[in-house]
Amino acid sequence: MSDLRKPVPPVSAVPRTPLSSSLPPRDSAAREFSFSTADFERVRKLIYQHAGISLSPVKQDMVYSRLARRLRATGKSSFADYLDALEKSGGDEWERFVNSLTTNLTSFFREPHHFPIFAEHLRKLGTRRPIRVWCSAASTGEEPYSIAITVAETFGSNASHVSIMASDLDTNVLATAQKGVYPIERVDKLSPERLRKFFLRGTGAQEGYVSVRPELKNMIQFQRINLLDQSYAVKGPLDVIFCRNVMIYFDKPTQYKILSRFAPLMQPDGLMFAGHSESFLHAADLFKSQGKTVYTLAGAR
């Protein structure tokens, strides 16, 4: 974005209006498409098989609202027809199906208690060898850029030994993350110093937006990864894995499978950061809690 040039000044809080979900009524007669309980259960089965996501039974209205868009886009007149076509020859539509049903709530420095712990771990590792970090649920990019900011603040200009991989299942949010351009209200909680150092303000047609500085973008490699895959295109051993607020969408057996694939990728003293509502007590043979939803390998001292 050629006109995103000016350092960002302090941003005052901007009043926000909560988004209304505008969910359709449960009465199928009032809906554009018929949507039976059997259709919903079929969607639940397919998203679980394809992405490991365990949809709650109370998500029926959300599923209708999001997938109705795909019916319109594909010209299907019913959910049964759409799902038949998806299973028969889905192709790229599988990706759109999954993208429609995934939720990507994030913000810069979300769960802020993790970042001082991460910074201390970086200082402990120092500059003696390469450091590898994987953000496994990158969403629209706020988390991996928060990681990169922490790296830059810890090592200054001497951070070339740190590599950050950021991945997500949803290609739409990854495209946003790679651009690194956000409405200015998304950064209104960052300090003036961070805004000046790490962001550029848009002018002209880009007024009201900020862009992450190129030097921060260059620290991150973005890639689509499905956590259900048998192996991951991630170079180990990893010093840190951020896997926050994604495991809540998986059932316990699926969580265990994913954690069992994480463990061999990690350095013996590596750290894994989880979301505030996530607990891996069922995988105590793989990871042990250090408190504050930070985990180390079960065999680590």
DSSP, residue by residue, 21-36:
--PPPS-GGGSSS---
Statement to judge: residues 132 and 169 lie in one domain: yes
Q: Which position among 39, 168, 170, 239 bears the catalytic label? A: 168
For 40-57, the pLDDT digits (tens) are 999 999 998 888 888 888
| Alpha-carbon torsion (188, 193, 195, 198), positive or negative | negative
Q: How far apart are CA 41 and CA 124, in angstroms?
A: 49
Let me know if residue 23 belongs to a domain: no
Alpha carbon 184 to its chain centroid, in Å, reads 20
Q: Which of 86-90, 161-165, 203-207 has the highest mean pLDDT?
A: 161-165
Alpha carbon 164 to its chain centroid, in Å, reads 14
**How many structural domains comprise the chain?**
2
| Phi, then psi, of 254 in degrees rounded to 5 | -70, -40
Q: How far apart are CA 164 and CA 133, in angstroms?
A: 5
Statement to judge: residues 264 and 122 lie in one domain: yes
For 254-267, the pLDDT digits (tens) are 999 999 999 999 99
pLDDT at 227: 92
Q: Give the mean pLDDT of 271-299.
A: 94
Least confident of 7-11, 207-211, 239-243: 7-11
Residue with the larger pLDDT of the pair 104 and 62: 62
Checking if the pLDDT of 80 tops 70, the result is yes
Let me know if residue 200 belongs to a domain: yes
Let me know if residue 210 belongs to a domain: yes
Residue 30: both structure tokens together: 């009032």
For 215-245, the pLDDT digits (tens) are 999 999 999 999 988 889 998 899 999 999 8
Question: Considering 101, 134, 149, which residue would you say is the last residue of a domain?
Answer: 101
Q: Which position among 31, 42, 66, 110 bears the catalytic label? A: 66
Let me know if residue 180 belongs to a domain: yes
- Bond prior to 264 in cis (omega within 30° of 0): no
pLDDT at 231: 87
Structural domain span for residue 287? 105-297
Q: How far apart are CA 142 and CA 109, in angstroms?
A: 8
Question: Considering 57, 77, 101, which residue would you say is the last residue of a domain?
Answer: 101
Question: Considering 71, 101, 131, which residue would you say is the last residue of a domain?
Answer: 101
Q: How far apart are CA 210 and CA 169, in angstroms?
A: 25
Q: How far apart are CA 289 and CA 34, in angstroms?
A: 47
Please indicate whether residue 66 is annotated as part of the active site. Answer: yes
Q: How far apart are CA 173 and CA 177, in angstroms?
A: 6
Q: Give the mean pLDDT of 142-169.
A: 96
pTM for the full model?
0.76
- Mean of per-residue pLDDT scores for the chain: 87
pLDDT at 103: 67
Statement to judge: residues 57 and 80 lie in one domain: yes
